[in-house]
Amino acid sequence: MNGSKHGRAARPLAGLLLTLSLAACSSSNTEDLQTWVEQVKSRQHAHIDPLPEFAPYETYLYQASNARDPFTPPSYSRPSQGRAVASNNGLAPDLNRAREPLESEPLDSLRMVGTLEKAGDTWALIRMSDSTIHRVQPGNYVGQNYGKIVRITESEVEVTEIVPDGLGGWMERQASLALSE
């Protein structure tokens, strides 16, 4: 019971101390803060130009009841003399053969890094972009344009590619891989 008696007497004392401390805080000197706020408010403000005025968008109504449709190619009444004809030379890549590993990358990403020769057979060493090195010889395929290796020298690999001719057919194109330093 003695502990509860002292607890009741301490409550009014704690309340009195709290009231005095709050009164002391409210009467503290804030003149320096008020001076600084007044200085900041009195500074010159930068001039900001107003936003430019934009002209309103004028719509255009395209009325082409008697004009040609701009999304279709023009048709001519007489055929032109220099008109290209689709080539039908019988050349086409063999789409049924199994693809080789070096055909997964473009020819310009492959690098010739050397040659090997054994018992009269010559192989070229070709490095892919992932640093894998493959051994190839004439008859192997490289690149994404159905390139077939036709000849290997000490300094290059000669390739014949089969590419679209732009007219619905195919044509051969010569390419090579030079020895990288």
pLDDT in tens, 60-109: 777 777 777 777 777 665 544 545 555 667 788 888 999 999 999 999 99
As separate numbers, helices (DSSP H) first and strands (DSSP E) second, the chain gives 2, 7
Q: Which helix (H) or strand (E) holds 40?
A: helix 31-42
DSSP-derived secondary structure for 57-84: PPP-----SSS--TTS----SS--TT--
**What are the backbone angles phi and psi of residue 2, rounded to the nearest 5°?**
-65, -35
Is 42 part of any domain?
no
**11 is a domain residue:** no
> Is residue 177 within 8 Å of residue 105, measured between CB atoms?
no
Task: Give residue 134's pLDDT.
Answer: 93
pLDDT at 47: 82
Given a contact cutoff of 8 angstroms between Cβ atoms, the answer to whether 102 and 126 are in contact is yes
Which CATH number fits the domain that encloses residue 112?
A: 2.30.30.830
Residue 106 maps to a domain: yes
**118 part of a folded domain:** yes
Say how many domains are in the chain.
1
> Is 43 contained in some domain?
no
Q: Which of 32-41, 79-88, 101-110, 152-161 has the lowest mean pLDDT?
A: 79-88
CB 98 within 8 A of CB 137: no
> Where does the pLDDT of residue 8 fall: very low under 50, low under 70, confident under 90, or very high at 90 and above?
low
Q: Is residue 166 part of a domain?
A: yes
Instruction: Please list, in sequence order, all residues whose beta carbon lies within 8 angstroms of the beta carbon of residue 74, skipping any fewer than 6 positions away.
Output: 68
pLDDT for 55: 86
Tallying the residues shown for the chain, one arrives at: 181
Res 69: pLDDT:
75
Instruction: Quote the pLDDT of residue 138.
Output: 94
pLDDT in tens, 42-51: 887 778 888 8
pLDDT computed for residue 70 by the predictor: 74
Which structural domain range is residue 106 located in?
101-178
- Give a yes or no: residue 152 inside a domain: yes
Q: Is 122 contained in some domain?
A: yes
